[in-house]
Structure 1
Amino acid sequence: MENLAYDPDLENAPTPQDVAAMGALRPVPRISIQAFCETDGVAGPIERAGEDRRMAKVHLKVHMGGVPTAIEFYHSAPTPNLIILESRSEPKALLESLRELSEVCDPSTKVVIIGHYNDVGLYRELIRSGISEYVVAPISMVDVVSVISSIFVDPDAEPIGRSIAFIGAKGGVGSSTIAHNVAWSMSTLFSSEVMVADLDLAFGTANINFDQDPAQGIAEAVFSPERVDEVYLDRLLAQCAERLSLLAAPSTLDRVYDFDSEAFTQLIDTAQRSAPLLVLDVPHIWSGWSKNTLMKADEVVITATPELANLRNTKNLIDMLAKLRPNDAPPRLILNQVGVPKRPEISAADFAEPLGVTPMAVIPFEPQLFGNASNNGRMLGEMDAKNPIVQTINEISHVLTGRSELKSKKKAGFGSLLDRLKLKK
C-alpha cells in the first residue's frame, strides 16, 4: 500500500494533554540557552519550544553536533545560562566527555543531558556530578519547556496571576462591557483580588463603567516603565469594589499613544505579581503591542456580534492566534447583542461552524439593562442580580477561572459562510 504524504504540521500538533500540561507552566525568565543536538528528532522539539510564548524572553540557539562540538565551541565562547546536550554515547563515554566539558564551562552554567540510555545508575551519577537533569529520548516540545521551567522558575516564588485578554472582533461589539462585568463577577463570586487594565488609552470606558475618575492610571505606568514595580503600581490603582481595582485609561487626546511592541510588558508582568486575576481590556486595533499582549495572555476572549464582518474578523483572529499560540487552547468566543430587531443575523450555530469554536456564551440584545448600568456607572449584577444575562456573566467567570468547563454542543451542518467571506474580500 502506498504511504500517505508526510505532514509535519500534523505530527507536531500538540495533543489536548500537551495543551493542558503547557497551561500549567509559567513564563521562563530572560536567560540564554544553547543546545547541541545529534539528531533532528531532538533538535526539532527544542526549536519548537523556543517558539512558544512561555519562552518569549529566552534567547535560544540550536547547534547540530553533540558534546564534542560543545567542547570545541566553548573553548572560544562564553557559556550561557543553560546548555542542552544530546548524546548517543554509552554511559561511560558520556561521563568522560562531560568531564572535558566541565573544563571549559562556567561553574554557574546549568546543563541538561538528553540521552538514549534509560539507565538509573547513569542518572544518579549525572545528578551527583552537578548535571541539572537527564532526559531519555525521544522527547517532545512539552518535555523541553517543562525541564527548563523546573530549573529556572522558582517553585517557592509568589504565584503569578492569571491574565485574561478581552478583545472585540469589531468596534462597538461590547467587549469592554463584558470584560468589566466578568471582572466584577469574579471578584464578587470568588472573593478573589481582580485587577482590570484598560489598554485603550485614548477612548477607554472602564473609568465610566466603574464610575471612577482617578488622577493617575495606566498612562503613567506605560510612559515610565522604569518606575514600574508593585509599590508604584499600587499607587496608580483605583479601588472599584472591595476586591476589584482598576488601572484606568486617561481617555483623552492630549497626546498620541504610539507604542512599541513591548510597551505593556513590564506593566503586565508586574500586575500579574500583584493580583491572582488580571483582566486586560484590549482595544480593537492590530499593532505590535496588541498582538504581543494577546500572544502572551493566559486566556483570550473574543467578543463578536452575529454579522458577516464580525465572522471574518473573528476567523482572522482565531487563525492568527493559532499560529502565535500553537500550544494553547483556542480563544474563547462570546456572541453578544444577539436578536437586534429587524437586523439580519447569522445564527450562533452557523457563526461557530467555520471557526471550529463553540461560543462560551450567547448574550441577547437588551439595551435597557446595559444602558441603565452604563449611565449609572454600575455593573449588571448591581442593577439586576437575577437577570439571566447576569447568570451568563457568572457562568463565564466560572469557566475562565477554571471552576467549570464549557459543555460542548452538537455541531450544526456546514453553510456557505466561508465562501461569502471570500466574496466580500
Structure 2
Amino acid sequence: MMTDAAFGMSSGLLRQAAHNGAGSGYSFQAETILHAPSTPREGLRIPRIAIQAFCATPDVATAVDRAAQDRLMSRARVSSHMGGIAAAIEQCQQSPTSNLLLVESCATGDTFLSDLDRLALACDPATRVLAIGYTNDIAFYRELIKRGVSDYLLAPVHPVDLIAAISRIFEEQSSGKLGRSYAFIGAKGGVGSSTVAHNVAWTIARQLSSDVVLADMDLPFGTAALDFNLDAEQGIADAIQDTGRLDEVLLDRLLQKYDDHLSVLAAPTHLERSYDLSANAMEPLLEVAQASVPFMVLDIPHQWTSWSRNVLIAADEIVITASPDLANLRNAKNMIDVLKRARPHDPPPKFVLNQLGMPKRPEITPKDFAKALQIEPLACLPFDAGQFGNAANKGKMVAETSRRGLSAKAFADIADALAGRHGSKRRNIGLLGWRSLIGKVRTG
C-alpha cells in the first residue's frame, strides 16, 4: 500500500475526490476560467553579473538569500555576508569587487554618507552600489545619488523589490527584448499535453499576429513535426548540440516556418542516439530564443529530470495538463507543490483538465479536482476522438478543421489568458458554475 507521504498529500482527500466524481455520468462543455493579469515581474531581467551583498540585519540577509533563489536571478552569482558597509570596505581592500555591491547600514545621515565615501575609495570605479537603509528622506536620497549610488531601498525589503532594483540598475546591459515562455507538461503520459501546447502556440500566433516559437523538447518521440505536417530534418537536437555556436542566426536556420507567425523547433525523427541531457542543456537555447521572439511555447515530455525541472522553474508560466482520474490528481498535486516551493514569488502553475466525458470511465469532477489542488482549472476540454484525430491526420490544428468547436474556443481562451489579453469577453465561470454544466453535452 502507498502511504500518505508517498502521495505528497492526504490519500483520503484524493480518494474522496475520486469517489465523489466516479460514475457520475457528468458531461462538460469546453469552458475556460480566466485569471488575473500578470505581475510586474514580467518586464524584469537580470544579466550575467556577480553580486556581493553585505547585510547588517538578519531580515535583509534573508531577503537577499530568497531573491538569489528566484528564477529571475538564475544568471547572477550572488554571495551574501554579514557586517554591513564595514565588511564591504574590508572585502574591497583585499580583492577585486563584483559588478554590484549591495550594502545595508543601520546608520543615518552623515554617518551613512561618510561610510559610503570610504567604500567608494576601496571599490573599483565600474562597480555599481545598491544601498539599503532606514532613512526615509528625499534630501538624504539625493545625497546618495550625488555620490554615485545606483539605487537606494528603504528597509525592510521584499525579495522582489531587490530583484526589481537590480533590474533597473542594469537596464542598459539587459535592454534587449525578452519574450515570454510558456512551459506545458502532462501530469501523466498520454493526457494530451502536447496537443494542448501545439494548439495554444498556433492560436497565440494567429490571435495576436505575433511571432511564436514552439520548441518540441521530447527529443526521441516528439510529435510537433507530425502535428504541423513538417519535415523534421533539423531542429532542437542541433540547437543544443553545440551551444557555443548557437545565436539568433543559427536558431533562425533551425526553425521551420508553419505560417507567417508560427515557427517550430522540431524534435528529431530518428533514434540512432540517446538523449541524456545535462541539467542546464536547454538554458542557452531558451536565452537565445527568448531574445528573438515575443512568445515561446515549450512542449516538455512527461519526465522528471534535472533539465526538465530546470526548464519548468525558469518558465514565465507553467501549464499542467491532466485527465480527471486519481493518478493524474496525485501527480498534478505533487508537481504543483514542488514548483510552488521552487518559485515562491511567482503565481502557482496553471492546469488544464483534458479528455472529460470519456465513455465508461469513472471521472473526478472538475470541482473536486480543483478543490484537491486548491487551484481553479484554466480550461476543461471534452473527450472528442473524432475531432482531434481528424486534425492530427491532416497535420492541422483543431481550429483549422473545426473553427466553431468547443475545443477551439477553449484554446482561444487559454491563449488569451496566457498572452495577457485580459479584455477578453469570454465567459468566466467559478467552481460553483460547474453544476450548471451537468447534462448539457455528452461527448465521446
Q: 1:20 aligns with which of 35, 39, 50?
A: 39
Corresponding residue number in structure 2 for 1:224: 242
- Deviates most, 32-41 or 230-239: 32-41
> 1:70-149 alignment to 2 at 5 Å?
70-149=88-167
- Deviates most, 344-353 or 294-303: 344-353
> 1:24-103 alignment to 2 at 5 Å?
24-103=42-121
How far does residue 69 in structure 1 lie from its aligned partner after superposition? 1.6
Work out the CA distance in 1 between the residues paired with 2:247 and 2:174: 20
Corresponding residue number in structure 1 for 2:288: 270
Work out the CA distance in 2 between the residues paired with 1:109 and 1:335: 50
Corresponding residue number in structure 2 for 1:417: none
Task: After the TM superposition, list the runs of 4 or more consecutive aligned residues in structure 1 that deviate by more than 6 angstroms.
Answer: 16-19
What's the CA shift string for 1:108-131, capped at 9, x where partnerless?
A: 100111111112222111111111
Corresponding residue number in structure 2 for 1:382: 400
**Alignment size in residue pairs:** 397
Against the structure 1 CA distance between its residues 81 and 17, is the aligned structure 2 distance closer, same or farther, given a 3 Å change threshold?
Answer: farther
Corresponding residue number in structure 1 for 2:322: 304
Corresponding residue number in structure 1 for 2:430: 409
Is the contact between residue 36 and residue 86 of structure 1 (CA under 8 Å) also seen in structure 2?
yes
Work out the CA distance in 1 between the residues paired with 2:387 and 2:429: 29
Is the contact between residue 353 and residue 412 of structure 1 (CA under 8 Å) also seen in structure 2?
no
What's the CA shift string for 1:119-174, capped at 9, x where partnerless?
A: 22221111111110122212111211111111113388332110000001111100
How far does residue 240 in structure 1 lie from its aligned partner after superposition? 0.7
Is the contact between residue 322 and residue 332 of structure 2 (CA under 8 Å) also seen in structure 1?
yes
What's the CA shift string for 1:299-354, capped at 9, x where partnerless?
A: 00000001110001100110010011111111111111111111111111111111
Matched, 1:261 2:276: no
Q: What is the Cα-based RMSD across aligned positions, in Å? A: 1.9
Corresponding residue number in structure 2 for 1:421: none
Secondary structure, aligned partner of 1:403: coil
Q: 1:290 aligns with which of 308, 325, 333?
A: 308
How far does residue 184 in structure 1 lie from its aligned partner after superposition? 0.8
Work out the CA distance in 1 between the residues paired with 2:159 and 2:429: 28
The one-letter code sitting in structure 1 at the alignment partner of 2:154 is V
Work out the CA distance in 1 between the residues paired with 2:248 and 2:325: 42
Is the contact between residue 21 and residue 142 of structure 1 (CA under 8 Å) also seen in structure 2?
no
Corresponding residue number in structure 2 for 1:371: 389
Corresponding residue number in structure 2 for 1:331: 349
Corresponding residue number in structure 2 for 1:420: none
How far does residue 411 in structure 1 lie from its aligned partner after superposition? 5.5
Corresponding residue number in structure 1 for 2:10: none
The one-letter code sitting in structure 2 at the alignment partner of 1:398 is D
The one-letter code sitting in structure 1 at the alignment partner of 2:263 is S
Work out the CA distance in 1 between the residues paired with 2:122 and 2:37: 36
Is the contact between residue 361 and residue 396 of structure 1 (CA under 8 Å) also seen in structure 2?
yes
Is the contact between residue 101 and residue 130 of structure 2 (CA under 8 Å) also seen in structure 1?
yes
Secondary structure, aligned partner of 1:33: strand
Q: Where in structure 1 are there 5+ consecutive unaligned residues?
A: 1-15, 414-425
Secondary structure, aligned partner of 1:389: helix
**TM-score relative to the length of structure 1:** 0.90
Corresponding residue number in structure 1 for 2:261: 243
Work out the CA distance in 2 between the residues paired with 1:235 and 1:18: 35
Corresponding residue number in structure 2 for 1:198: 216
Is the contact between residue 47 and residue 173 of structure 2 (CA under 8 Å) also seen in structure 1?
no
The one-letter code sitting in structure 2 at the alignment partner of 1:370 is F
